[in-house]
Amino acid sequence: MRSVRWARAGLVIPAWLAIAFLLVPLVALLVKVDWAGIPAHLANPIVVPALRLSLLTTSSTIAICALLGTPLAWLLARSTHPATPWLRALVTVPLVLPPVVGGVALLMAYGREGVVGRVLFDVAGWSIPFTTVAVVFAEVFVALPFYVLAVEGSMRGLDPRYDGLAATLGASPWRTFRTVVVPMVAPGIASGAALAWARALGEFGATITFAGSYPGRTQTAPLAVYFLLESDPQAAIALSLVMLLISVVILGALRGRWLR
């Protein structure tokens, strides 16, 4: 009995330490907020354009993730080709890459002097860095792996006999994918989208490196927090609080609806 209690304490204490470690900074943010002044701080001319830009770019990011990431997840889940595990490992690389390095890599690829960017600039006159498109590039680069891995996980859990059955009933692979696979992995898609969205919303390093920082165009909410911290710390805290609130509400809603 005694040893059982000790073992329990040995697990419970570190677990509570972990919870405290995660919650203390969030509580500190709430403690330090100048609650009465929040409306005034949020009226700082930097705050609203930054939030608007963040919502615009993260929703574009999720749309692109769903459009490109769902088929890729399907390919990774169902392909038996010997190269598939390598492909999966490659997709995971941006997940472990420091975001700033991701930003440098994006510049080398799509910058005006970049491998692909140079051609785009010479042929079409397009220059991607310093534009809102560059922000979306940075966000997709860091968020897509989260989406693909989450969706692939739930697709792998799907019994392949469903596909077989649909095929024997005459469904084409595209129709099977659209009417059988996607609806059955909807919870996986929702959790993948939530993860990817959260990652995109918090994206800083790749964005500031590849897209720069210009109010209303490339200065997303995390960048605005960084710059406000030196000019108007209370506005930075108020904006952080808004981001925390949006994250909690959206993740909470998704969890209640689909993730159980």
Partner 1 sequence: MRRAGGRFRAPVAALAFAALAASGCSPAAGEPGNAATRHTVVMLAASSLTESLTTVAKDFRASHPGTDVQLSFAASSTVVTQVNQGAPADLIALAGTAAAVPLDKSRIVKNGTRPLASNTLEIATPPSNPGNVNAITDLSRPTLNVVLCAATVPCGKAAAKALSLAGVVAHVVSYETDVKATLAKVQLGEADAAIVYHSDVVSAGARVRGVQIPASVNQTVDYPLIQLTNDPTTVEFRTYLLSDQGRKRLRDNGFLTP
Binding site for partner 1 (CB under 8 A): 5, 8-9, 12-13, 16-17, 19-20, 23-24, 27-28, 31, 107, 111-113, 127, 129-130, 208, 211-214, 217-219, 226-227, 229-231
Shortest separation between residue 123's beta carbon and partner 1, angstroms? 16
**Which is closer to partner 1, CB of 29 or CB of 75?**
29
Nearest to 62 by CA among 175, 180, 151: 151
Residues 6+ apart with CB under 8 A from 122: none
Decide if 102 contacts 177 (C-beta within 8 A). no
**Which is closer to partner 1, CB of 146 or CB of 210?**
210
Radius of gyration over alpha carbons of the chain, in Å?
22
Q: Which long-range contacts (CB under 8 A, 24 or more apart) does 156-165 make?
A: 156/77, 157/188, 158/77, 158/184, 158/185, 160/78, 163/78
At 49, the amino acid letter reads: P
Shortest separation between residue 227's beta carbon and partner 1, angstroms? 6
**Which is closer to partner 1, CB of 5 or CB of 161?**
5
Shortest separation between residue 6's beta carbon and partner 1, angstroms? 11
Residue with token string 């769903």: 66
Shortest separation between residue 53's beta carbon and partner 1, angstroms? 14
Shortest separation between residue 114's beta carbon and partner 1, angstroms? 9
The conformation of residue 37, written as its DSSP 8-state character, comes to G
**Which is closer to partner 1, CB of 28 or CB of 116?**
28
Residues 6+ apart with CB under 8 A from 24: none
**Which is closer to partner 1, CB of 227 or CB of 258?**
227
